Amino acid sequence: MKKIVTVAISVTVLAACVALGLGVMGAKQAGRDLPNCPGGVFANEAMVFDAIAICATSDVSQEKLAHAANVAAEWLDNDGDGEVDEPRIVTAMQTSRPFVIMTPSGSSAAVMAALSPTFASRVGQDLHASETNPGNGQRDASQEEVLHAIQNGGWAIAFPDVWGDQPGATLYQEWQAAEAAGHYAYDDPTCNAACKVTEYTYVAAASYLGSTKDLESNEIRLHTRDALREGVPGTVAVFESTDYRFATDHWPTGQYRHQSNIVFAPQEAAQ
């Protein structure tokens, strides 16, 4: 999980960079006004189920943008019937307006400065194009990063007592119990308790849905659904609860049939 961070750099320099459309290293950022992507630094967007925006800079390929959008659609319509599995999280997301910040390999200080005012009211999540469907047997990070955005902008808002990242929420307690039992560890010193809840949810979902590539870090020691059910049954109960419908069918692959649920802007981005 790549967190949104501020960068210590002169405000004057940043203002000049943003005004010129330049990154800190001088790279041109060809941005435009888009319906759902803030800051004027993105060139293309994909709006999925009118709930989450994938926002790409000009140097991100359409192929990478479309892949991330398909992954988002699969997280929301995991059974692939063309309808959102849990409409209440879409309602929450239409308020929180989560967006994925898609850049080639990391956002420049100018991009982050342009987006900074937005983070007070919207959920933002970073995703590098270089780690999106990279091929050659490498892990695809889009499933993780998009799930983070959907969890924080949707599940945690619609069902805070279960999916929230604060003390008292079920998944917060599940993270603590898994860590105490030695089933889970995440040693990034910049990741606080709320961050660790989100990371725990991701690797537990990877274990539940059988994504072996996402388990190679061994952050979670329970690598199968059966092991998860035995070691952290409360987490499985969260995923399988009949109070809502979480994604229990498959780990997203970037293949999604119902393309009418994804709207690209500008229109030529879909070509």
AA identity, residue 77: D
What pLDDT, on the 0 to 100 scale, is given for residue 6?
Answer: 29
Determine phi and psi for 90, rounding to 5 degrees: -65, -40
Tokens coding 70? 């398909």
Average pLDDT over the chain, rounded to whole?
Answer: 89
Residue-wise pLDDT tens digits, 186-206: 999 999 999 999 999 999 999
Q: CA 188 to CA 202: how far, in whole Å? A: 15
pTM of the predicted model over 0.85: yes
Residue-wise pLDDT tens digits, 89-147: 999 999 999 999 999 998 778 888 899 999 989 999 999 999 999 998 999 999 999 99
Bridge partners of residue 99, in order along the sequence: 53, 124
CB burial class (10 A; 0-12, 13-18, 19+) of residue 4? middle
